[in-house]
Structure 1
């Protein structure tokens, strides 16, 4: 396989996109959109069923464990968008106690469910991310899809045969070793980094982030009404059948229609836009050819020997060692650690604040029901679209990456303060206005991290980012849920103020990153087909 470098290599590399089945595509966004839409649509029915099962096991056997009422909730008290007993005591004392106990057990169940899959998913994410740098992105994308199909089928069997809920723990552990959503998103961002240049990477990463929000908008509207009209087990399982079908489509898309961006032997990625290929990729292409010659000599010595598990393990470790060493450059290593710390604290504040919105909206004084919560989630997901517009305009105006990230962090802090004092539905919806640029830091920091590493390290760095994001989500749940429980009696909005205060930490880290300049900026020029030279920007702004 020929790498990008000279104009001849460019043309040959692009010709390799043509296969016996036609042209392969360079866009991973359709796969991510379909996959997340299926998962988001099946989320509320999963919660409804588990709540019903727990409530039934506690002793409230007045309804079938698999049934869903027209009110769109597990207890039938969310009709017309509000709780019947929110802020009052219209329900009987026994029913109220049973519902409170069911909510506590469901909260613990989901916490234990997250913990059960934490280690397998993190291990799989790190391994698949590093291996994708050497063996390609497509296989690393297909494995999480297989895991999601298996976990969804297991859940369908649990509902059909009313199997014990503890089987979900086993399912989460087994399928977690295939990656999960965290791994799929990490590999998808690495794929985007492979097919973009440092000039347009902000825009493409932000586009993928916006796709996640667009999925949330549609699925939130659909799920709110779906849980309201679903009847019986057949209605409840319809989203899960849909999710299995979507996963199968995504699997075939990755296997037969998606272009592989990593060459054989772990060579440099093949860019979709060769004329603007950065100089480091050009140098990597030359190094890749030399590496192929060395591999050929080693292959003659080791002819007939197949790779063992130990070989793959060494490749994984080597990928992360190269990432940690940062080419022996202390300044680059410091920058990588600062950016990872910035992303971790941004994710901690974001997950902590946004994760409590539904709980806050369901309680007094708002007392929102299933439909209103769906509307609220859909309006909140609009910040993905407005953030994408903000990143696009700022990037075209050559605004530094650090300034874009700071603007997004300030937007989140302002929105959290506004949400903390929202006491009416109108005020809650208007709180989305200061939140409109909330998601801008995530794609920008991902892009900054991608620009700080070599093309052969993209999978490793995005796997590290995915694991950091997963840890931040778990830690934020433990911290903010505990704080919300302790402060809900005297000030329900205190947790949102805490999330705004947390955002001051990454804002300070971004300031430090902006003061840490690249000692060897890659402002070089790469020859093009017509003999001109196009700039390739390699420094972090």
Structure 2
């Protein structure tokens, strides 16, 4: 007699487990976001380009009009990013608290509602030719619903709940892989969709309509289909050397649930050596923020950089360029699978930081399109640091605190993004005529600087293992 007949509920339980997967929500939301990001940039280029030409004399050279357009787009993004980053601060924390106290889906569902409203704002702007400033109100509504901070902290919480500590980093990087694949597909199609409707009036209508459709699917799926996974209980055991190595999430095998070879029961640590969590969390926070400073600066300036000389990309090339940024989600996932066989978390984090810093350094001197893609290729492990830092932090806190802690981390990164975006946009305006790669050079320096706190974490871990006095280590 087969297992199906002995367990008639097995099929139902399997279907129920599938309904706990957060990946369909992540994929559809990211397709909507990638279409929206490209659409907003191209709509800005068209709208502000027309506005700049109307306010300039007919004798103005092409380069002067391009510079005016670049400054107008940069100034728009400064205000847009301020609204995006500041409006979710209180709502996101409240939603995280409500998710911990009442229901895990609260932050995700409310945030997805805000994302849908924001995408509708761009659709209405294209459809009825509203002024571009209406997008400030649209992204403000998104922020009041928690924005990316509430959404992504909810995703990380659900992803962490259904996975064991050993498998958690693999689980979270897999979610990032799905996000990257969805973003790649959306960005590849975005330039073509923007040109789908002929005529200047409704150009971009097909793209924005597809973005709204994907955001609507994500919201309906999260409301009607998605179920909260059952938490995988943490084993109750006295602190051992394996617990300390779990602080930074060591990887020894592709089956992380197997005990670490260095784990030896019966060797509890002294109280002084059993209190590394607070200092580790602070150092991980510092490393994440410094690295985020570097990443945000590059990502924010890059769309402006590719629109002007020497690259001067068209609509389809802009879509392809944005798609290239999502390749790192695939390569970072493969990197974790390979590096986890022989490296600890701290080593993998530093590899990712070196990867991004090297790519940003090459971007400083890009003059041709092929050089841009080579620089992007050097960033192939750039996603590993923040994802691995999140995984390491999840092993140091209780399940009931996931919502609040992940929201605090996400809000810290959001505040960093707001400050960095404003600073880099202003710096870009000041240096684009003298040395357009200044922002990328600064990002490269910050990426290498972020290695310092992670290196301290690695040194602390090595010191704890040394003083634990375990045979064979």
- TMscore range, shorter length: 0.7 to 0.9
Residue 34 in structure 1 maps to residue 28 in structure 2:
yes
| Compared CA separation, residues 253 and 434, structure 1 to 2 (3 A) | same
Residue by residue, what CA displacement relative to the aligned partner does 1:28-54 show, whole Å, maximum 9, x if unpaired? Answer: 111011011012113233333344344
Cα contact 1:193–1:201 (8 A) shared by 2 = yes
Once the two structures are TM-superposed, the CA of residue 251 in structure 1 deviates from its matched residue by 2.0
Q: Which residue of 2 aligns with 1:337?
A: 282
- Number of the residue aligned with 2:443: 499
| Alpha-carbon separation, structure 1, partners of 2:119 and 2:86 | 20
Partners of 1:113 and 1:95 in 2: how far apart?
27
Quick one: which of 145, 162, 170 aligns to 2:137? 170
- Cα distance, 1:518 vs. partner? 11
For these two proteins, the number of residue pairs brought into alignment is 420
Q: By how many angstroms is 1:200 displaced?
A: 0.7
C-alpha displacement at 1:448, in angstroms?
0.9
Structure 2: how far apart are the matches of 1:445 and 1:424? Answer: 35
Deviations 1:383-430 (A, max 9, x none): 2211110012222x1521101101111111222222223333222222
- 2:89 is equivalent to residue 145 of structure 1: no
1:157 Cα deviation after fit: 3.5
SS of residue in 1 equivalent to 2:452: helix
Distance in 1 (CA, whole Å) between partners of 2:155 and 2:206 is 28
Pair 1:371-2:365 in alignment: no
* Cross-structure match for 2:209: 241
Q: Which position in structure 2 is the counterpart of 1:426? A: 370
Which residue matches 1:64?
A: none
Contact in 1 for aligned 2:194/2:206 (Cα 8 Å): no
**C-alpha distance 281-482 of structure 1, shift in aligned 2 (>3 A):** farther
1:44-443 maps to which residues of 2 (within 5 A)? 44-57=38-51, 60=54, 93=60, 97-232=64-199, 233-261=201-229, 270-271=230-231, 274=232, 277-279=233-235, 331-395=276-340, 397-443=341-387
Could you tell me which of 469, 475, 481 is aligned with 2:419?
Answer: 475
Change (3 A) 1:398 1:193: farther
* Structure 2 contact 187–322 (Cα < 8 Å) conserved: yes
Distance 2:219 2:380 in 1: 34
Instruction: Quote the offset at 1:260 in angstroms.
Output: 1.5
Check conservation: 1:281, 1:455, Cα contact below 8 A: no
Change (3 A) 1:92 1:281: farther
State the shift of 1:476 in Å.
Answer: 2.1
SS at match of 2:310: coil
> Per-residue deviation at 1:258?
1.5
Q: Residues 483, 165 of structure 1: CA spacing in aligned structure 2 closer, same or farther, 3 A cutoff?
A: closer
Relative to 1, partners in 2 of residues 1:402 and 1:148: Cα closer, same or farther, differing over 3 Å? same
Rounded to whole Å, the distance in 2 between the matches of 1:495 and 1:453 is 36
More displaced 10-residue stretch of structure 1: 384-393 or 117-126: 117-126
* CA shift for structure 1 position 338: 1.6
Q: 1:176 Cα shift?
A: 1.6
Is 1:447–2:391 an aligned residue pair? Answer: yes
In 1, Cα distance between equivalents of 2:334 and 2:113: 34
Q: 2:190–2:207: 8 Å Cα contact kept in structure 1? A: no
Aligned CA-pair RMSD: 3.2
Report the alpha carbon displacement of residue 202 of structure 1 after superposing the two structures with TM: 1.1
Query: 1:433 & 1:47 partners in 2: Cα distance?
Result: 23
Q: Which 10-residue stretch deviates more, 221-230 or 127-136?
A: 221-230
**For residues 151 and 446 of structure 1, do their structure 2 counterparts lie closer, same or farther at Cα, with a shift above 3 Å needed?**
same
Task: Give 1:234 shift.
Answer: 4.5
Distance 1:240 1:57, change over 3 A: same
Task: Identify if the C-alpha distance between structure 1 residues 174 and 487 changes in structure 2 by more than 3 Å, giving closer, same or farther.
Answer: closer
Deviates more, 1:465-474 or 1:225-234: 225-234
Per-residue Cα deviation, 1:190-242 (whole angstroms, up to 9, x for no partner)? 11111111111111111122222222321221112223443244552223322
Change beyond 3 A, Cα 1:468–1:144: same
Q: Is the 8 A contact 2:92 2:107 kept in 1?
A: no
Indicate how the Cα distance of structure 1 residues 420 and 159 shifts in structure 2: closer, same or farther if over 3 A, else same. closer
Q: Unpaired segments of 5 or more residues in structure 2?
A: 1-8, 239-273, 466-473
CA contact (8 A) 2:283 2:453 kept: yes
Give the Cα separation in 2 of the matches to 1:423 and 1:155: 33
